[in-house]
Amino acid sequence: NEDVQAQLHAMQATSGAYVSLLQRPMPEVEGSWSEVESTELEELSTLPGILSAAIWRLGSDGRFQLSHVSGVIKDEVVPILECSGTDPDKFSTSWRCSILSKAWNAEQVSSIVSLDGALKTAVESGGPRELAIRSAVAVPIFNGQHRVESAIELLGAFPNQFESNTMRQFIQGIQRRWAEVKNHCESYISAPFVTPGLVKQYREELFNGGLQMYMQPIVEIKTGRVVKFEALARLKTGDDLVVPPGVFLPLLGDVELDRLFRQGLDQTLTWAKRWEEQGIVVDVSVNLPPTTLLDADCQNWVRDALSDHDFDPSRLVLELLETHGADEDGQKETIEGLREIGVKLAMDDLGSGYSSLLRFSTLPFDTIKVDRGIVAQLYASPLQTLSLMGKLIQMGREFGREVVMEGLEDMGTLEAAMFLGAPLVQGYQLAYPMPPEKVESWIREFAFPASIGQIRTYLGALTYLLSAAHQDSFGDEWLAPGCIIGDFLSNQGAEAEPAMLLHLQVHREATRGQLYQRLLQWLIDKVRLSP
């Protein structure tokens, strides 16, 4: 009994260490991304069962190159890693080549279940057996264009260490955290390099052919169809560098923001008409800066652009950015003028604070977009966040507003929005912002990746359970044998056996009693391990 208790305590401590790493605050940025990356890797290498963590990149010669390595066997493993990375003959026959190549080329996590088995066909001198390495996994890390830019390699002390569903969800959490940390760091690191000369260069290039409106789709869940594209400004420099808006927008004054809006609107309507000629009829959305909204000529600019392109005003959505206390009377007057033209208006930050609720209640929006900062809290505080998301969706429905849930970056958040009843969704899980010339080919190949009749993630299962409870549908379809929660749990293997038993008991209980609460808490714990 004491042995069992000791094992349970050890399992809880291990799980807690993995969860804590994913929930660490964003790092302080005092140096380069390489330094931050090295620190993040060191933290990763201290987790129970992790012997070594390394970062690989693909060099210009097509060979994998070791960037950083950390862990308890760092000193022993570095010579082996460097040798296999620089010697193509040794690398091409190694187990490492196998998982790194698969991770890079297939853009998927790749692992070796047991290196004892792998070594039967690939014995490497001074390799895994001598260092007690029993398993390995390669995790692709993506850039802003969703292309692999590096791979994290973890070496484990146990066979099958990276194969469980819990560990796979943790690995997905690592991918998300690294993307978020890099975005966080770049917002700080990029700023010091925007010298006065670079500011001048960016301004000149932006208004001399450098502005490019990237398009991100908004999808209707009920039909799985793309119904509109949001146009997002990017600066493409002469050397083909794509500069994000967070870098160049703060450099622009009010007059330049007006000019950016007009040029961006013109580009967006031009592309929308081209798509229409190819049989692709969708609405388009363009961000409207608060200073531009208050300009006396704003209505004329919009009216003239619609006339020049012979574009139906009802298919144009102007997304009003946060106004930060701008003149309310002036806003309302311009907004009424825009509505008279026939365009639709969207609010981009519902739920971000009291000011957003005040805007929602006082201004005549057609569409509301739930603040992405709320969605970002799903894995840290799933129960509270799902409750808030559900209330915002319901509030939009009661006010007769179209609701868009944005910031959906993985299958879990997409399933959460779907089972909560969000009408429209947007985010990286569906598509990254893309150059407008790629829209036609992308939309013809697009298929909605989630299904209302299937659960694929723990966050989806938790949301579905809560939705069923709130709708008092216990005893109905969801409790029938073969319900989609049961199907999901049965696919998770041995780790979900406690939940499967609870689920069967909840079937019989058909109430929100103690068994339901235990199942709910089990799912919450799994979701918190997923980020």
Residue 246 lies in a domain: yes
Tell whether 182 and 318 lie within a shared domain: no
Q: What CATH code is carried by the domain that includes residue 182?
A: 3.30.450.40
CA distance 474 to 409: 31
Residue 277 lies in a domain: yes
Beta partners for residue 235, in sequence order? 211, 243
Question: 333-364: b or e for each residue (b if 16 or more CB lie within 10 Å)?
Answer: ebbeebeeeebbbbbbbbbbeeebeebbeebe
CA atoms within 13 A on the CB side of 283: 20
Residue 198 lies in a domain: no
Tell whether 75 and 184 lie within a shared domain: yes
CA distance 156 to 114: 10
CA distance 289 to 293: 6
- Determine contact, residues 211/433, Cβ cutoff 8 Å: no
- Determine contact, residues 520/528, Cβ cutoff 8 Å: no
Question: 58-91: b or e for each residue (b if 16 or more CB lie within 10 Å)?
Answer: beeeeebebbbbbbebbeebeebbebbbeeeebb
Tell whether 429 and 483 lie within a shared domain: no
Tell whether 162 and 121 lie within a shared domain: yes
CA distance 348 to 237: 28
Three-state secondary structure call for residue 480: coil
CA distance 166 to 15: 9
Tell whether 163 and 256 lie within a shared domain: no
Residue 449 lies in a domain: no
Single out the residue in 414, 443, 472 at which a domain terminates: 443
Tell whether 152 and 109 lie within a shared domain: yes
> 171 is written with which tokens?
């690995």
Report the pLDDT value the prediction gives residue 257, as an integer from 0 to 100.
93
- Alpha carbon 204 to its chain centroid, in Å, reads 33
Residue 349 lies in a domain: yes
Task: For residue 158, give its domain range.
Answer: 26-188
What is the radius of gyration, based on Cα positions, of the chain?
26
Report the pLDDT value the prediction gives residue 117, as an integer from 0 to 100.
43
Single out the residue in 375, 409, 443 at which a domain terminates: 443
- Alpha carbon 251 to its chain centroid, in Å, reads 27
Amino acid, single-letter form, for residue 5 = Q
Single out the residue in 443, 478, 509 at which a domain terminates: 443
Residue 348 lies in a domain: yes
Residue 223 lies in a domain: yes
Tell whether 174 and 278 lie within a shared domain: no
For residue 170, which of 111, 86, 104, 92 has the smallest C-alpha distance? 111
pLDDT one-digit tens code per residue, 76-96: 766 666 555 444 444 444 566
Global confidence as pTM:
0.68
Tell whether 434 and 462 lie within a shared domain: no
CA atoms within 13 A on the CB side of 422: 30
- Determine contact, residues 158/134, Cβ cutoff 8 Å: yes
Tell whether 357 and 502 lie within a shared domain: no
> What's the length of the chain?
531
Tally of structural domains, the chain: 3
Amino acid, single-letter form, for residue 109 = V
List of residues 6+ apart from 229 with CB closer than 8 A: 215, 216, 217, 218, 272, 282, 283, 284, 285, 439
Three-state secondary structure call for residue 46: coil
CA distance 465 to 514: 14
Three-state secondary structure call for residue 243: strand
Residue found by looking up tokens 């210009």 in the block: 60
Residue 180 lies in a domain: yes
Residue found by looking up tokens 């609405």 in the block: 283
Residue spans of beta strands (DSSP E) within 183-257: 211-220, 225-236, 242-243
Tell whether 308 and 284 lie within a shared domain: yes
Cα–Cα distances (Å) from 248 to 193, 198, 290, in that order, read: 12, 10, 17
Tell whether 270 and 311 lie within a shared domain: yes
User: Which run of H or E residues covers position 52?
Assistant: strand 50-58
Amino acid, single-letter form, for residue 308 = D
Tell whether 491 and 384 lie within a shared domain: no
Kindly give the confidence (pLDDT) of every residue in the chain, 531 residues in length, as a single tens digit, with 9 standing for 90 and above: 455 455 445 455 566 778 788 878 877 765 567 778 888 999 999 999 899 999 988 776 677 888 888 988 877 766 666 555 444 444 444 566 678 888 888 788 888 887 764 443 333 444 554 668 888 999 998 876 567 888 999 998 888 888 887 788 888 888 888 888 877 776 544 443 456 677 788 888 999 999 999 999 999 999 999 999 999 999 988 877 888 887 888 888 899 999 999 999 999 999 999 999 999 999 999 999 988 998 989 999 999 999 999 999 999 999 987 654 555 666 778 888 999 999 999 987 664 544 456 666 667 789 999 888 889 889 888 999 999 999 999 988 998 999 999 999 899 999 999 999 999 999 989 999 999 999 999 999 999 999 989 999 999 999 999 988 776 554 444 444 568 999 999 999 888 999 999 998 888 776 678 889 999 999 999 998 775
Residue found by looking up tokens 């505080």 in the block: 381
Q: What CATH code is carried by the domain that includes residue 405?
A: 3.20.20.450
Report the pLDDT value the prediction gives residue 82, as an integer from 0 to 100.
56
